[in-house]
Amino acid sequence: MRIIAGSRRSLPLKTIAGTDTRPTTDRIKETLFNMLQEEVAGSYVLDLYAGSGQIGLEALSRGASYAVFVENAKKAADCIADNIRFTKFEEQTNLMRTDAISAIARLEGRNRFDLIFLDPPYESGAEVQALTCLSGSSVMKPETLIIVEAARDTDFSYAEGLGLTLVRQKQYKTNQHVFFRKKEA
């Protein structure tokens, strides 16, 4: 696993051993960031269920201004801290060692994000809770883009009822990226 492009291109990143996290493959990450080309530069990024931190670090390498990483698992959070130090992004990051819902509540009124990444455990229902919490949160700007990585068969039909509009969906062999924005009033 590595940073693919930008100022930290080709730097290797750590990941934790075992099945507690599923790092996004380089190929899928490259596809994702090709779709986000126009969105990343200068953005404020929230990386929920951050795992190794590779998505937020890739965004920073490609010109994002700031990233907040949220990870509740100790080993994964320690891995993110190591990757932040190794890539020398300490000044542009904040690592919150807590669950996603608590982090969103703590960020209320303090931060607003352009890009929000969610990569919760597949089939856990955590994306429903996070999207529900985000939909009424001040951490979102009117134009914020939310990107959810989920199992390919995950149903997002409820999202419209949360005031979120599906703007894009990219399916892979076993998973998908689903892109949402707030519905225009």
Which two three-digit tokens encode residue 40?
């990343």
Residue 47: the pLDDT is 98
Categorize the per-residue pLDDT at 171 as very low, low, confident or very high, splitting at 50, 70 and 90.
very high
Q: Alpha-carbon distance 183 to 185, whole Å?
A: 6
Residue 25: the pLDDT is 79
- pLDDT of residue 176 exceeding 60, the answer is yes
Q: Which residues of 129-158 are buried (b: 16+ CB within 10 A; e: fewer)?
A: ebbbbbbebebbeeebbbbbbbeeebebee
Categorize the per-residue pLDDT at 9 as very low, low, confident or very high, splitting at 50, 70 and 90.
very high
Residue 82: the pLDDT is 98
141 CB contacts (<8 Å, ≥6 apart)? 112, 113, 114
Residue with the bigger pLDDT between 26 and 182: it is 182
| Boundaries of domain holding 135 | 30-182
Let me know if residue 5 belongs to a domain.
Answer: no
Categorize the per-residue pLDDT at 144 as very low, low, confident or very high, splitting at 50, 70 and 90.
very high
Which two three-digit tokens encode residue 23?
């790092």
Q: Kindly report the three-state secondary structure assignment for every residue of the chain.
A: CECCCCCCCCCECCCCCCCCCCCCCHHHHHHHHHHCHHHHCCCEEEEECCCCCHHHHHHHHCCCCEEEEECCCHHHHHHHHHHHHHHCCHHHEEEECCCHHHHHHHHCCCCCEEEEEECCCCCCCHHHHHHHHHHCCCCEEEEEEEEEEEECCCCCHHHHHHCEEEEEEEECCCEEEEEEEECCC
The predicted-structure confidence for 154-167, as pLDDT tens digits, reads as follows 999 999 999 999 99
Let me know if residue 124 belongs to a domain.
Answer: yes
The predicted-structure confidence for 17-75, as pLDDT tens digits, reads as follows 765 566 777 888 999 999 998 999 999 999 999 999 999 999 999 999 999 999 999 99
- CATH number of 159's domain: 3.40.50.150
- Into how many domains does the chain fold? 1
Residue 40: the pLDDT is 98
Residue 140: the pLDDT is 96
Residue 20: the pLDDT is 58
Residue 22: the pLDDT is 66
Let me know if residue 35 belongs to a domain.
Answer: yes
The predicted-structure confidence for 96-139, as pLDDT tens digits, reads as follows 999 999 999 999 999 999 999 999 998 899 999 999 999 999 99
User: Any idea what the Cα angle at residue 154 is, between residues 54 and 27, rounded to 5°?
Assistant: 35
Let me know if residue 34 belongs to a domain.
Answer: yes
Residue 151: the pLDDT is 94
Residue 46: the pLDDT is 98
Let me know if residue 169 belongs to a domain.
Answer: yes
- pLDDT of residue 87 exceeding 90, the answer is yes
